[in-house]
Amino acid sequence: MSELVDSYPKYYQIKDAKTLPENKKPQAILDRLNKEIPQDYERFTDMDGMRVDYEDGWFLVRASGTEPKVRVFSEGRTAERAKDLNKIAMEGLEKANQQSFLKLK
């Protein structure tokens, strides 16, 4: 059994979340997020959040159904790549949050 498991590529995952201020709507930030991340991805899907696929990993950003949070799930072929993808998503969320705040004024 372990030989079979070893034959599959190893992937690394990171789970993260960003708590939103009470006046922020998660969907407004998700709508803005695509403009705030680098556009070098292979595929983008916006069903039930936002999933961005790269050759060597992906990240998914979606609104929590129970809390005022946006959750981030990242996966990469290396631990370092999973961290990099998480950083891209979290920095994009921060920029989208700031831009959303500026638009409300």
Structural domains of the chain, ranges and CATH numbers in brackets = 10-104 (3.30.310.50)
Residues 6+ apart with CB under 8 A from 68: 19, 20, 21, 22, 24, 26
**In 10 A of CB 94, how many CB atoms?**
13
Summarised one tens digit per residue, pLDDT across range 32-87 is 888 888 888 999 998 889 999 999 999 999 998 888 889 999 999 999 999 999 99
pTM of the predicted protein model? 0.83
pLDDT recorded at residue 101: 57
According to DSSP, the residues that pair with 103 across neighbouring strands are: none
